[in-house]
C-alpha cells in the first residue's frame, strides 16, 4: 500500500481526537465528555471513548447539539437555580 492510501485511512480514537481539537483539557476530560454524550462526530453522538474516527472525519468533531456546551438545554442544577431565583446565578 502506498503512503497516500495509508494517510487516507489513518484513524484515531475519539478521546484523542477530542483532546487534539481543544474540546477537552486532558485525556481524562475527553473520556468523561464522551461518556456523558457531549461529543459528536458529524451528526452522530459518540459515547464510546475508543470510537475510531477517520482522518477525514476529525474536522467534524464538535459538541453535541443537545449538550449544554453545544448550545443545548441547560443542565438540571442550572435549571433549578434559575427557577428558584435568577439573582444568585453566576454566568460563565
Q: What are the tens digits of pLDDT across the range 41-71? A: 999 999 999 999 998 888 999 999 999 999 9
Q: Could you give the domains of the chain?
A: 3-87 (3.10.290.10)
> For the residues 64-86, what does the mean pLDDT come to?
92
Beta-strand pair 11-13/39-41: unpaired
- The grid coordinates listed for 60 are 467534524
**pLDDT band at residue 7 under the 50/70/90 scheme:** low
d(CA 87, CA 45): 34
Contact assessment for residue 18 and residue 39, using Cβ atoms and an 8 Å cutoff: yes
pLDDT, one tens digit per residue, over 11-39 is 788 888 888 888 999 999 999 999 999 99
Band (81; pLDDT cuts 50, 70, 90): very high
CA 83/CA 60 separation, integer angstroms = 35
Amino acid at each position: 500500500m502506498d503512503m497516500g492510501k495509508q494517510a487516507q485511512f489513518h484513524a484515531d480514537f475519539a478521546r484523542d481526537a477530542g483532546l487534539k481539537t481543544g474540546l477537552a483539557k486532558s485525556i481524562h476530560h475527553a473520556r468523561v465528555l464522551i461518556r456523558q454524550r457531549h461529543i459528536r462526530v458529524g451528526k452522530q453522538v459518540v459515547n464510546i471513548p475508543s470510537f475510531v474516527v477517520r482522518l477525514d472525519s476529525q474536522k467534524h468533531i464538535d459538541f453535541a447539539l443537545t449538550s449544554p456546551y453545544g448550545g443545548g438545554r441547560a443542565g438540571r442544577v442550572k435549571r433549578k437555580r434559575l427557577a428558584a431565583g435568577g439573582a444568585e446565578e453566576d454566568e460563565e
